[in-house]
Structure 1
Amino acid sequence: MKYIVLGALLLCSMSLVAEHQNALKKVYFHRGAHQGIHTKSHPHIELANVVFYFEEKPRIESSVVQKKSETLHRLFLPNVVVSPELHVALQAVHDQAKEYPFDVQFVAKSSPTEKGLEITLTYPTDTVGVKYDYFNSIGLQKGLTLQLVNKELIQRINHLGRQIITTASLDTPRVFIDCGHGGTDSGAVCHSVKEKDVSLEVGLTVADTLRANGILVQLSRERDEFVSLDMRTTLANQSNADLFVSIHANSALNSAAHGIETYFFTTDLLDEGDCFLSTLWDRNKLKKELAQKCALSNRLASCVHGAVLKTVQSEHSVVDRRVKPAVSQVLLGAQMPAVLVEVGFVTHAYESQLLSQKTYQERLASGITTGIMQYLGRA
């Protein structure tokens, strides 16, 4: 009798595992330049990047059907469930992808034999490739990045035998300044100081100073308005910016935390999934080019961070919280070298007081500008 009971319990346990649901929590679509694979002045390996967040790391079942000129790529994520709100978000990704040389469709499967999220990619075999990787997010959710890459450009690089992707135009560099948060998204708020206000004031001053030095500048926002994270990167990518600087103010549960820190993205933070390119040479070249962008982001972060500290520490005692790698949506989605600067903690009594002062905001902006000019070789 006990064996029958144990068997029933085992079957019940297996059923619960099989039925365990993994909720899709968020989705972002970081779009590249409209020129797509035909961009000549600012070629980019990354065409677009779809980023998903889940409760748990999803399992992926992949199948590829190649025709003469077209590839049909199916990714199935078992037991993933999609809320009505995220159904709308996935439809938006499908609609926005129509501007690019690929199609992406999402279908939530709920039949007894197949439950989960089906992603179907259709793209030209000769010009587009696909790779996906996993990552852990700050909020403990599990991330998946699905990247569509410029296969034609990779093969051009192989043919020429040298890097052709430039990181900064020598004559007229273009800088994208991202003023964090805005509108209904106040960011961190404490001691009557709002992160969105600090980032806007500092960002506008940085933009004005760069323009006065002959640098082309575009901002993610110039007033108190909401701009989604993937729209910020899309604006930067489509402006063909040479570098991306995102400005934020920090917060912590520990009110004693204070100081300045700067982040950059590195592929070392990714748990490698799979890459669908024709040859090992192509895959290695893609990895090398993406690593080069990360290295340049690290150098940009060091320039900006060092200059900001030097500028503010001449008048104030500010802690150096160092340059650090991190997975952030704006860093993940930017096609150019990118950094995120946390200029201080609104949750720290003294530092929040400084952050609210116009003279201190101008000092922060001066440091950021100096770091950018140093990176561009114009300091």
Structure 2
Amino acid sequence: MVAGETSGDLLASRLLSGLRPQLPEADFHGIGGARMAEYGFRSDWPMEKLSVRGLFEVLAHYREIKGIQNALRDRLLEEKPAAFIGVDAPDFNFGLEAQLKQAGIPTMHFISPSIWAWRGGRIKKIARAVSHMLVVFPFEEEIYRRAGIPVSYVGYPLAEVIPMEPDVLAARAELQLPANARVVAILPGSRMSELKYNSVAFIEAARVLMQQDASIRFVVPMAGAKQQAYFSELLTNAGLGDVPLQVVSGKSHTVIAAADAVLVASGTATLEVALFKKPMVIGYKMMRASWEILRHMGYQPWVGLPNILAREFLVPELLQDAATPEALAKALSGQLNDEPHRERLHQRFTEMHHLLLRDTAKESADAVLRLIGHKAAA
């Protein structure tokens, strides 16, 4: 198995939670994180080696990442595992899966790339690489069936993990926040590249909001110690070290549950925020050269997963040059203060939660067992 970042580690751990009881003696290894390790997964390389985003950012690490891919490929071709499961990380995993499938090793990919959001030409490449696709959105099944790729809809794993009605007061108590405070969660991303481009604009937006309402509490979860140190360095260099923030190690779900509104980088975290039924502003910045290429590739108007699922702009999206501190702050203020809008969002996000709710651990584990010809235990 290969997961390339924190969200992939969480998704893979849900699959492993269903698979480990069925295959108690199996050796699960590859690249993964701490959550996968809870189920006896052995990571041959640190997952952080693959946590790079953006065309030119990846190029800077290309030699090292390609070296890891080749070494893992050679090891697996010699080992001939019962199956290989790539969890997200499509740029790394599809190339590896194609070579393994050609050698007769069954390959599964968990989480479809956004072929419905960007140019769909990758479907032929996926067909060459993947023996079976696991998808987490119901509309994705038909895309793969039309392309002749075996597919299973397994639900969105976090729809099971996140409660239908989050306990706001318990989350605030855990974070030692006043029960009646106005709380804004800021999630600039878990990758170092995301922190680099989003952190300063996001915290400048917090400072603008704070000037309008000094009572607002801002809480920022960090994926790890390395990310937290880098985040602090970025703010200090930008002259933002004096902005009063509560920076928390991990606990992103607790932070989201405690919030009245969330400023979040585009990605899977946006759907987590929706499952917590929270108003949000989606912001994203990246290296200029990457943006100039990627902005011409989208063929639908939304990038945030909640908006894509809703097929409308439920929440604001402010990307690249539009993601100024003033614009982000203004949009956040609207999410905080428009009560009818907040109630509508709660209803729409509740409907979305029910749509995505399946027994993902069982459904995905059963698909793996069918792929390797192993009968599930009763």
Query: Same fold, TM exceeding 0.5?
Result: no
Q: TM-score, normalised by structure 1?
A: 0.34
Where is the strand percentage greater, Structure 1 or Structure 2? 1
User: Highest CA radius of gyration, 1 or 2?
Assistant: 1
